[in-house]
């Protein structure tokens, strides 16, 4: 049964324009096994079944992959158990990935998973985007990902300053996108970012629409 969920991942990912190699498939299997194992002892995710983890964590994380560069310096804000950063890194091994996570238990899990998966150019930063600025890269990031971090306007205010020129901020959202964008107009203007792409999608077995919003930094703002 265990491999079925992952074959399902491969099939469904291809529907979104994402094709997984044997090696990537193998890494996702290791990742899933570790996630299930650790989740019994600490609350890494509220999802109870392997199938839901595959759909709502792995597949969901991969949705923006065809729409972002294949390499660059990537910051995953509030990474938790590694989403969306680690699935994107498995799919795009050229990424120089930084996982920003404040909780010690989750940091321990991330360290373990990175070691088990043998991922290179993957760094964990213990901290929060809103206060641990000194730990972030001085040249900013090509891509910043944020999944369930804060309301959109707050996510933009925290993350946009750390985007490099023409950098992309990738936000994962539910269906109430327009309201969130309306609330964020001023902060977008202030931070010099615009909505570059909206990707609406449905996850298998889910009825409510999800959206990935990708913002682009137009010009570096002077503080």
pLDDT value, residue 3 = 61
- Cβ atoms 210, 174 nearer than 8 A: yes
Instruction: Please enumerate in sequence order all residues whose Cβ is within 8 A of that of 35, keeping only pairs 6 or more positions apart, or say none.
Output: 44, 45, 53, 57, 81, 113
pLDDT value, residue 73 = 98
**Structural domains in the chain, sorted by start:** 2-217 (3.40.50.150)
pLDDT digits (tens), the chain, 223 positions: 356 777 888 888 999 999 999 999 999 999 999 999 999 999 899 998 999 999 999 999 999 999 999 999 999 999 999 999 999 999 999 999 999 999 999 999 999 999 999 999 999 999 999 998 899 999 999 999 999 889 999 999 999 999 999 999 999 999 899 999 999 999 999 999 999 999 999 999 889 999 999 999 986 555 4
Give CA torsion, residues 201, 175, 159, 204, to 10 deg: -30
The pair of structure tokens assigned to 94 is 């050229």
pLDDT value, residue 149 = 84
pLDDT value, residue 1 = 39
């Amino acid at each position: 049964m265990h491999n079925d969920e992952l074959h399902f991942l491969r099939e469904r990912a291809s529907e979104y324009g994402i094709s997984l190699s044997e090696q990537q498939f193998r890494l996702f299997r290791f990742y899933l096994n570790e996630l299930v194992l650790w989740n019994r002892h600490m609350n890494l995710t509220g999802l109870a079944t392997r199938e839901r983890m595959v759909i709502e964590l792995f597949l969901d994380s991969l949705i923006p992959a065809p729409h972002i560069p294949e390499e660059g310096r990537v910051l995953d804000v509030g990474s938790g158990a590694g989403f969306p950063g680690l699935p994107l890194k498995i799919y795009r091994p050229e990424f120089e990935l930084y996982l920003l996570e404040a909780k010690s238990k989750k940091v321990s899990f991330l360290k373990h998973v990175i070691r088990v998966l043998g991922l290179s150019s993957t760094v964990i930063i213990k901290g929060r985007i809103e206060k641990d600025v000194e730990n972030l890269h001085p040249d900013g990031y090509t891509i910043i990902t944020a999944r369930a971090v804060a309301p959109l306007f707050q996510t933009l205010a925290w993350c946009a300053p750390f985007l490099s020129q023409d950098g992309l901020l990738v936000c994962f959202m539910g269906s109430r996108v327009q309201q969130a964008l309306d609330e964020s107009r001023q902060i977008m203007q202030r931070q010099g970012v615009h909505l570059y792409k909206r990707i609406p999608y449905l996850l298998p077995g889910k009825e409510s629409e999800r959206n990935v919003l990708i913002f682009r930094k137009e010009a570096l703002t002077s503080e």
